[in-house]
Amino acid sequence: MHGTGAAQGRLDDGSTGVSVIIPAHRAHDTIVRAVQSLLDQDWTAWEAVIVSDDGTDYRPTLRAAGIDDPRLIFTGTGRLGAGAPAARNAGLAAARLPLVATLDADDRFRPGRLSALAPLALAQGAAFDNVAVVRDEDDSPLLCLYGEGQAPAWLDGEGFLATSVPMFPLVRRDLVPGWDEDVNFCDDVVFNVRVLDAAGPVPLVATPFYEYRQRAGSITCSADSAERAERCYRHVLDRLAGDGLGIRDEALRHSFTQAIAAKRARNAAFEAAFKAGHCTSFQEFLALGEGAIP
């Protein structure tokens, strides 16, 4: 049974702690791996807020794997399939520590992630890292967001909008914008743009400490994922033209609008490749390279 151990990085007032929000919907097959990746961190000043979005209790699943840790907090959306944004907001309401991170229930943090990013996020308001995309079925690597020597030391809104792999920053609590429940597919993109609008350029760690797992049956690997993405892009454009999604920087709002045009074109190319049987997910499409697909 796992205990807390020595709390590296924790001050007596808990001012360096990280609240890791884990939305969980039909995640009993993967939740142990996600939580174990937190237990494997050398930075132990964290809490995990596990948000049930399927009406089930994840405690028995974790206890059956020998995991019963006081840093685990359990809450729920009170609904069935409310969606990741709603679950993350419920987790944020229950979170108690000054830094906030998200972890999808089928993904994992690689060892050393929190100790690399937490001090930077505390000092600069947020910190990002490289992302490794991994095929879940056989643990085979698909791609990294940034290749060797390609990652910039600092990330701003323009740089983020040029990416196509989800990114999962650590963010200081006072800069966390929350998640809009009506943006239910590309909510991570909107969240990150808002963070960078508020914080300005922030550090980017070149090591791929976040492992983004591509799993058959997940929303991003579903047959209608391209259609879902297109609906989300159209909705985000409507919001940008309306309330601006709360983004204060006019130039960044304009860049966001332009970036969506590029994302829609890439999504259409992915949809064609998917229907032709050349790939099974958008990340696999990126790994193959658009020029490699007939």
pLDDT tens-digit profile of 86-111?
999 999 999 999 999 999 999 999 99
Q: Give 87's contacts (C-beta < 8 A, 6+ positions apart).
A: 21, 23, 24, 25, 51, 53, 77
Site of tokens 């049956």: 217
Q: How far apart are CA 232 and CA 228, in angstroms?
A: 6
Q: What is the Cα–Cα distance from 11 to 118, expressed in whole angstroms?
A: 13
Q: Are 109 and 22 in contact (CB under 8 A)?
A: no
pLDDT digits (tens, 9 = 90+) for 9-39: 443 345 689 999 999 999 999 999 999 999 9
Phi-psi region of 253 (alpha: psi -120 to 50; beta: other; left: phi over 0): alpha
Per residue of the chain (294 residues), give pLDDT as tens.
343 333 444 433 456 899 999 999 999 999 999 999 999 999 999 999 999 999 999 999 999 999 999 999 999 999 999 999 999 999 999 999 999 999 999 999 999 999 999 999 999 999 999 999 999 999 999 999 999 999 999 999 999 999 999 999 999 999 999 999 999 889 999 999 999 999 999 999 999 999 999 977 666 667 788 999 999 999 999 999 999 999 999 999 999 999 999 999 999 999 999 999 999 889 889 998 854 454
Residues 257-277 pLDDT 10s:
999 999 999 999 999 999 999
Tell me which CATH code domain 18-220 carries. Answer: 3.90.550.10
Amino acid found at 262: A
Angle at which helix 84-94 crosses helix 187-199, to 10 degrees, equals 50
Give the HSE-up count for residue 234: Cα atoms under 13 Å, Cβ half-sphere. 6
Closest Cα to residue 169, out of 242, 117, 133? 117
Burial 244-267 (b: 16+ CB within 10 A, else e): ebebebeebbebbeebbeebeebb
What is the dihedral angle through the alpha carbons of 158, 87, 50, 124, rounded to the nearest 10 degrees? Answer: 30
Classified as helix, coil or strand, 75 is strand
